Homo-oligomer: A and B are copies of this chain.
Amino acid sequence: MNVVRIGIIGIGNMGSAHANNIFQGKVDNLILTAVCDIDESKLLWAKQTLDEQVSIYTDYHLLLKSGLVDAVLIATPHKLHPIIAIDAFAAKLHVLTEKPAGTNTLQVRRMNELAKKSGKIFAIMYNQRTNPMFAHLKKLVEDGELGEMKRFVWIISNWYRTQAYYDSGEWRASWNGEGGGVLLNQCPHNLDIWQWITGMPTKIRSFCKYGHFHSINVEDDVTILAEYANSATAVFITSTGEYPGTNRLEYSGTRGKAVIEDGILKIYRLEADEREICYKSKEGFPNIEVHYEEIIQERPETGHIGILQNFTNAILYDEDLLAPGNEGIYGLTISNAAYMSDWLDTWVDIPMDEKLFSQMLGERQIKEKEVTIKNEDSKEGIDGEYKERWQVRW
C-alpha cells in the first residue's frame, strides 16, 4: 500500500474543510474517495465541489462497507464519534476522529479496546498539538528544565461565541447534542494540551456556570482547580463570553517558570533548585539569578494537515502518532471530572467513577428533552470566520 484512501463522515464546518484539504492534495499519499452526510445542503455542496471519483453516501454504514476506503475521518456531532468509530473498527478501517473522541470516558475506553483488537490505527484530531509553542514547553517540562511542577495556570477565554452561534444547530450547547458546553466543544484542545504538558492531575474541583453569558442549557464559564500527586496546583479558566479574551498559560516549577502568551514563549530558568535555596538561604527575600529566554513562534502550526499527514504516515510507515486514540481519554477525563465536581459540589478523584458520571449526564439529557430553550429561528449555517478558529488564537 502506498496511498491511503479515506472517507469523511460528516461534512459540516469541519468535515468540509478536511475534504477540501485532502481533495486539493495537501496531504501526501492521502486520497479522498468517499464522503457521507444526512444533510441535503451538504450533499449538494459535495456534488458541486468534489470530483466524480469521490462517492457520496447518506448512510455511513454503506460507506464503511463500500471497499472504497482504508480509513475514515469522523466529523459528526460529538455523540456519534464513538458509535461510528466502533463500526469502523469492526469494518477493519483506520480511524481519525474529530475531538472529543466521545462525550464520556467509558465510550473512549471501548473505542480503544476495539482499535487494539482490530489492529488498526486510531488517532484524534488534536491539531493544537502541532503548535510549536506547546510542543516546546512540553519538551522543556519533560527534560526537567523547569524542575518539578508547582503550579499551572491557563486563562483561555478567547473562545468568544454569540447567541447566533448557539442557535445555529439544535445539537449545539446541549446535553443531548454535545454532552456539554465550552468544556466539550471549545476546550478539548486546551484540556488535552494541559495534560500533555503536565501529566494528569489526581483530583479536580470545578465551578461551572450554565447559560451564564448565553441562552443555553450548558456551561459557558468554568473555573477548574486541579491537584497533582506531588501536591502541585493547577487553575484553568475559560468562557465563551469575554471579548477580547485571553490565552495565557503559565507553568511554574522548582527550577523556573514558562509563560506562553501572544504567541511568545517566555522562559525563566534558575541555576539552582528553588527548593534547596528555600531551606539553605540565609536571606529572607533573596534575589535569585534568572536566565531569561524568549521564543517567538516563527513557523505556523501544521494544524489539521499536520495531523492528517501524521495519520497517513502512521498507516503507511509506522510513524508514531502525535495524538494517539488512547490519549483521547485524558482531556475528556478532566472535563467529565469537572462536570461531576460541580454537580456533586466536591473534589473528584482521578481515576473517577465513570459509571456515576454517565448516569448523571444521562439524567441531564433526559431532563433536557422535556424542556428546550432553543430559538425557533435556529439555522444550520452561520456567518463568521470559522476557519480562523482552527489555529491557536493568541
Residues on B with beta carbons closer than 8 Å to the beta carbon of A245:
252
Shortest Cβ distance from residue A252 to the other chain B in the assembled complex, whole angstroms: 5
Say whether B155 contacts A384, CB under 8 Å: no
Answer yes or no: A153 CB below 8 A from chain B CBs.
yes
Interface residue count on the A side (C-beta < 8 Å) = 60
Quick one: closest B residue to A269, CB to CB?
B244
With A and B bound together, what is the CA distance between A259 and B244 in angstroms? 11
Chain B residues contacting A207 (CB-CB under 8 Å) are 205, 225
Q: Are A285 and B165 in contact (CB under 8 A)?
A: yes
Residue in B163, B246, B250 whose beta carbon sits within 8 Å of that of A246 in the complex? B250
Q: What secondary structure prevails in chain A residues at the interface with B?
A: mixed
Q: Which of B157, B165, B233, B243 contacts A223 (CB 8 A)?
A: B233
Which of B225, B237, B286, B385 contacts A384, CB < 8 Å?
Answer: B286
User: A284's contact among B168, B231, B274, by CB below 8 Å, is which?
Assistant: B168
- Which residues of chain A (139-164) have a CB below 8 Å from chain B? 150-151, 153, 155, 157, 160-164
Asked whether A382 and B165 contact (CB < 8 A) given A237-B235, A244-B290, the answer is no
Stretch at the interface among A15-23, A64-72, A275-283, A321-329: A275-283
User: Are A257's CB and B278's CB within 8 A?
Assistant: no
Q: Which 4 A-B pairs have the closest CB atoms?
A: A165-B284, A283-B384, A285-B384, A284-B384
A interface with B by C-beta (< 8 Å) = 150-151, 153, 155, 157, 160-165, 168, 205, 207, 209, 212-214, 221, 223, 225, 231, 233, 235, 237, 239, 241-246, 248, 250, 252, 256-257, 259, 268, 270, 274, 277-279, 281-288, 290, 382-386, 388-389
